[in-house]
Structure 1
Amino acid sequence: MKVTKADFIISAVRPNQFPEDGLPEIALCGRSNVGKSSLINRMINRKNLARTSSTPGKTQQLNYYLINDDIYFVDFPGYGYAKVSKTQRAAWGQMMENYLLEREPLKLVMQMIDMRHPPTKDDIMMYDWLKHHGLPVCVVTTKMDKIPRSRRAKHAKVIKEDLGLRPGDPFIQFSSEEGIGREELWAVIAGYAGLNTGSEPAEGTTSEE
C-alpha cells in the first residue's frame, strides 16, 4: 500500500476526545518495548512520526495517527510494565477495555508480540480476552530480524501454540528494520477496514520465511 499522507492527530484519554468522522480504526496493543512505534513508522515509511522511547511505559494515552485520510492507527499504552503503579495500570486497563468493547469504528486489533521470546502471561491473557469478546485479531510478531533465518519457523510455532492461535486469525512476521511483512500486514488491514487496494481481504494470511 502506498502511503502519501500520515499525521499524528491526538493523544486521547476520554471518549469525548476520540475522532468523530467514523473512519475505520486499527488498534495496536502489546507489551511495553514490543516495537509499536517502530512498526507504525515502517508501515507509513516515516522515521519519526511515532516517537520511539527507551523508557517502557511512556505511552499513557490512546495515540491516534491518520493515514491517507482513510484510516486511523490507534496506539495503546504498553501492558505488562511493572514500574507503573497499580492505580495507573488499572486506569489504563479501564480506558482500553472501554475503547475495545464500545468503539464502533474499531475494525481490527493488532496484537504485537516480540518474536524473540515465547508469549508472556500478559500476552496470552490479552489474546484470550480479545477472543472471548469476539474481537477481530491479527497477531504481529516483531523484531523478526533479530532471529536467524533458520530459527524463525520454530519461534513462530512456539508463539502460535502458546497463544492457542485460533483458525482464521492472521499471523504476520514483521521486521521494522528490514520492512519484512509490511505489504502482508497492509493487505490484512485493508481487508478488515474495507480499504480499496484492488485486492481481496487477507483473512488468515500468514507471513513466513
Structure 2
Amino acid sequence: MARFNLCEFTAGVNRHDALPPYSLPEVAFAGRSNVGKSSLINAVLGKRDLARTSQTPGRTRQLNFFRIDDTFFVVDLPGYGFAEASKRDIKQWTQLTRDYLCGRPTLRRVFLLLDARRDKINEDDQAWMTMLDESAITYQCVLTKVDKVTQAHHQMRIEQLNAALRRHPAALPDIISTSSEDGTGLDVMRSTIFSLSRY
C-alpha cells in the first residue's frame, strides 16, 4: 500500500516566470472553490497541515508545489468559481493556471475534483473539462465529500458523470470517490499517484 514520507512545500507561484524548472513528474489538483482540494491533498499525503484549508472560498490564490519523497510534485491549483477576489485577480490566476497546464511536459495528470453533494455538473466544471480536452491534458474526475450524501445520491452522481465523460476525450473513464473525513478512496488516490510518479 502506497505511503508517502517526506512531504514539503517548495513553492507558491503567482507569476509564469516563477514556475519551478521541469524536473520530477507532477500531478495537479483542480476544482471549484471550496470543493475540498486542500483537505483531500492533506488526507492523501497523510499530512494534516501541508496544504492550507479554509472555509473561505478561493483561499488558494497561487499554484502551490509540494515535493513528495524527492520523486514527484503535487500541485494545488487555485480554486475556480466563486472565489472572493477581484475580477482582475481571478483573471490573473486563470491565465497562470492555463499557462501552467498547457506548458508543463512533466504534468502526468490533473485530478478534477467535483463535490458529491451537488445535483449536477455546473458550468465552471464543464468549462474546465472543455479546456482540458482542447489542451489534450489527461484528467480524472474525483468526487469529494461522498460521506455527506446518501448511497442513492452518490450513485446518481456516478451515473451522471459517466454519461458526461463519454463526451470528453481527455477524460479517463474511472471516477474516484473520496472523503477526507472517513478515508473513502484515499488508498486508491495514493496508489494512482504512486504509479504516475514512476514513469
Amino acid at match of 2:161: I
Residue 48 of structure 1 aligns to a residue whose secondary structure is: coil
| Distance in structure 2 (CA, Å) of the matches to 1:143 and 1:19 | 31
Shift of 1:165: 5.2
Name the % identity: 34
1:190 aligns with 2:194: yes
1:60 aligns with 2:64: no
Q: CA 1:95/1:110 → structure 2, altered by over 3 Å: closer, same or farther?
A: same
Residue 126 of structure 2 aligns to a residue whose secondary structure is: helix
Contact 1:137 1:170 in 2 (8 A): no
Contact 2:71 2:197 in 1 (8 A): no
Paired positions, count: 195
Aligned to 1:158: 160
Amino acid at match of 2:14: V
Shift of 1:193: 3.1
1:1-209 correspondence runs (5 A): 1-20=2-21, 22-81=23-82, 83-117=84-118, 118-162=120-164, 164=167, 166=169, 168-194=172-198
| Distance in structure 1 (CA, Å) of the matches to 2:168 and 2:155 | 15
Cα distance per residue 1:168-199 (max 9 Å; x no partner): 4431011111111112122322333326xxxx
Q: CA 1:125/1:92 → structure 2, altered by over 3 Å: closer, same or farther?
A: same
Cα RMSD (Å) of the superposition? 1.8
Runs of 5+ unmatched residues, structure 1: 196-209
Cα distance per residue 1:140-185 (max 9 Å; x no partner): 1100100122432112212333454557443101111111111212
Contact 2:4 2:46 in 1 (8 A): yes
Amino acid at match of 2:127: M
Contact 1:137 1:169 in 2 (8 A): no
| Distance in structure 1 (CA, Å) of the matches to 2:85 and 2:95 | 15
Structure 1 stretches of 4+ with a deviation exceeding 6 A read none
| Distance in structure 1 (CA, Å) of the matches to 2:25 and 2:19 | 12
Contact 2:22 2:106 in 1 (8 A): no
| Distance in structure 1 (CA, Å) of the matches to 2:83 and 2:12 | 23
Amino acid at match of 1:5: L
Superposition TM-score, scaled by structure 2 size:
0.90
Instruction: Tell me: higher relative CO, structure 1 or 2? Use CA pairs within 8 A at least 6 residues apart.
Output: 2
Residue 60 of structure 1 aligns to a residue whose secondary structure is: coil
Superposition TM-score, scaled by structure 1 size:
0.86
Runs of 5+ unmatched residues, structure 2: none
Q: CA 1:102/1:179 → structure 2, altered by over 3 Å: closer, same or farther?
A: same
| Distance in structure 1 (CA, Å) of the matches to 2:91 and 2:7 | 31
Residue 114 of structure 2 aligns to a residue whose secondary structure is: strand
| Distance in structure 2 (CA, Å) of the matches to 1:24 and 1:168 | 19
Amino acid at match of 1:44: L
Shift of 1:85: 2.0
